[in-house]
Amino acid sequence: MVIKTAEYLISSPDWEQCPTPVWPEYAFIGRSNVGKSSLINILANNERLAKTSGTPGKTQLINHFAINNAWYLVDLPGYGFAKRSLSQRRQWEQMIENYLRKRTNLVSVFVLIDSRHEPQKIDLEFVNQLGGWNIPFSLVFTKADKSTQAIVSKNVKTFLNKMRETWQFLPPNFVTSTVKKTGRDAILNYIDEMNAQ
Ligand code: GDP
């Protein structure tokens, strides 16, 4: 897919204020600092489209971008901020659950996971929750340039094996590096295929 246009549209406090669902929509989510903004920026070919995390956990908004005037890319507030209060966490959970379950044009979610680490409980819990809600998703293992290919492969394999304990079918997975631009074409082609369906 060639990116011709990528523009920021709106930040919404809840799903009901999101743009009219006229286009297919793809949402990106993950633990804070996982590399979500950097990935969105290389996908969209715009270094400053998504803001890289300044004050983590402070703004809990659903950010919509229009890509090629054909689909929405959504930057969701991440999870796992140590400094978030219990009430902020509950608010996040409610907002995310409502968005994920009620947004009618949501085609698929990309869950970002730091490829340097062994499976983390918080990521497994989140993907198991998505599976429980029957929401299609794929896994994106980020920052692949920060460790060896062997470590990345091992962590991907271990994560999928953990998922296999609960699920019969495993989601597609991608390995990315925003430094080397690895994985960009694979993700955009995958979105292209889903848009064509
Ligand atoms: P977010 O909080 O998930 O939006 O994460 P950011 O995109 O702000 O990235 C967090 C930090 O990781 C920043 O310092 C990025 O430059 C760095 N980063 C993100 N992706 C990569 C990557 O693929 N490779 C490397 N080496 N650093 C990355």
Write the CB contacts of 129 (distance below 8 Å, at least 6 apart in sequence).
Answer: none
Domain 6-196 coded CATH 3.40.50.300: yes
Decide whether any atom of ligand 1 lies within 6 Å of the 53 Cβ.
yes
The predicted-structure confidence for 23-71, as pLDDT tens digits, reads as follows 999 999 999 899 999 999 999 998 888 876 555 555 689 999 999 999 9
More confident residue, 121 or 58: 121
Q: Is the Cβ atom of 88 under 6 angstroms away from ligand 1?
A: no
- Mutation test residue for ligand 1: of 29, 33, 74, the one with most atoms within 8 Å of CB: 33
> Average pLDDT for residues 100-112, to the nearest whole number?
98
Q: Which two tokens mark 95?
A: 């907002």
The answer, yes or no, to whether residue 108 has pLDDT greater than 60, is yes
b/e per residue 92-131 (b: at least 16 CB within 10 A) = beebbeebbeebeebbbbbbbbbbebebeeebbebbeebb
**Beta bridge partners of residue 177, listed in sequence order:** 182
- Residue pLDDT, tens place only, 89-100: 899 999 999 999
Locate the domains of the chain by residue range: 6-196
Biggest CA pair distance of the chain: 44
Q: Report the nearest-CA residue for atom 20 of ligand 1.
A: 35
